[in-house]
């Protein structure tokens, strides 16, 4: 349940209070970590069992995490606009969601995103191109946010692209 290194490595950029969103949160490793750092967190995933695990962990640790079951691809679950100081998306890609992610940030808010690139298909899963970024694609998808940090390549044995970007 350790947060991704890309998220931990940018901890100094995070606000000490405010609202955060963990998109496709799984069992909530980032949601719980952000809440421990003082943020009020909304965590969303379509997997009800994973959301139950997030709720249990948050309750046990008395952390401010609201965990919701929601399908982010069907259009049934809408992200609030200008609502979040931090949005974290790790190892999840649904390209049509980007406009809502960008709109979900408050002014000054940070998007922290990392997921697999095409090169990952040569190493293992995922192999479906729908879930794999093309070279330079993440940089384009976050326009017009201000890019604070960016990388692409092999990190922690995964081929990924990673960005930290700010809504100015």
Order of strands, sheet of 84-90, starting from the edge strand that comes earlier in the sequence: 65-69, 40-45, 19-23, 84-90, 105-116, 158-166, 146-155
Q: Which is nearer to ligand SAM, 160 or 165 (CB)?
A: 160
Interacting residues toward ligand SAM by CB under 6 A = 24-26, 29, 45-47, 50, 71-73, 90-92
As measured in angstroms, the least distance from the Cβ of 59 to ligand SAM is: 19
| DSSP strands (E only) in 6-104 | 19-23, 40-45, 65-69, 84-90
As measured in angstroms, the least distance from the Cβ of 100 to ligand SAM is: 12
As measured in angstroms, the least distance from the Cβ of 45 to ligand SAM is: 4
HSE of 140, CA atoms in CB hemisphere, 13 A: 6
What is the spatial distance between Cα 47 and Cα 70, in angstroms, rounded to a whole number?
8
As measured in angstroms, the least distance from the Cβ of 50 to ligand SAM is: 5
As measured in angstroms, the least distance from the Cβ of 15 to ligand SAM is: 20
Q: Which is nearer to ligand SAM, 131 or 150 (CB)?
A: 131
What is the spatial distance between Cα 55 and Cα 125, in angstroms, rounded to a whole number?
28
Retrieve residue 147's tokens. Answer: 């890019």
Q: Which is nearer to ligand SAM, 10 or 46 (CB)?
A: 46
Q: Which is nearer to ligand SAM, 91 or 139 (CB)?
A: 91
- Shortest-Cβ-distance residue relative to ligand SAM: 26
* C-beta atoms surrounding 152 within 10 Å: 18
Q: Which is nearer to ligand SAM, 71 or 146 (CB)?
A: 71
Angle between helices 29-36 and 48-60 (to 10 degrees): 20
């Amino acid at each position: 349940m350790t947060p991704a290194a890309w998220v931990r490595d940018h901890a100094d950029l995070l606000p000490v209070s405010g609202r955060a969103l963990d998109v496709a949160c799984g069992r909530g490793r980032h949601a719980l970590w952000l809440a421990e750092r003082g943020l009020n967190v909304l965590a969303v995933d379509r997997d009800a069992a994973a959301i139950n695990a997030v709720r249990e962990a948050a309750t046990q640790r008395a952390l401010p995490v609201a965990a919701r079951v929601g399908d982010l691809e069907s259009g049934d679950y809408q992200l609030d606009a200008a609502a979040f100081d931090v949005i974290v998306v790790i190892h999840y890609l649904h390209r049509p969601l980007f406009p809502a992610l960008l709109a979900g940030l408050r002014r000054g808010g940070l998007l922290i995103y990392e997921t697999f690139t095409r090169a990952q298909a040569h190493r293992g899963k995922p192999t479906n191109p729908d879930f794999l970024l093309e070279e330079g694609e993440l940089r384009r998808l976050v326009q017009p946010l201000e890019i604070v940090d960016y990388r692409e390549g092999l990190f922690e044995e995964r081929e990924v692209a990673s960005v930290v970007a700010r809504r100015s």
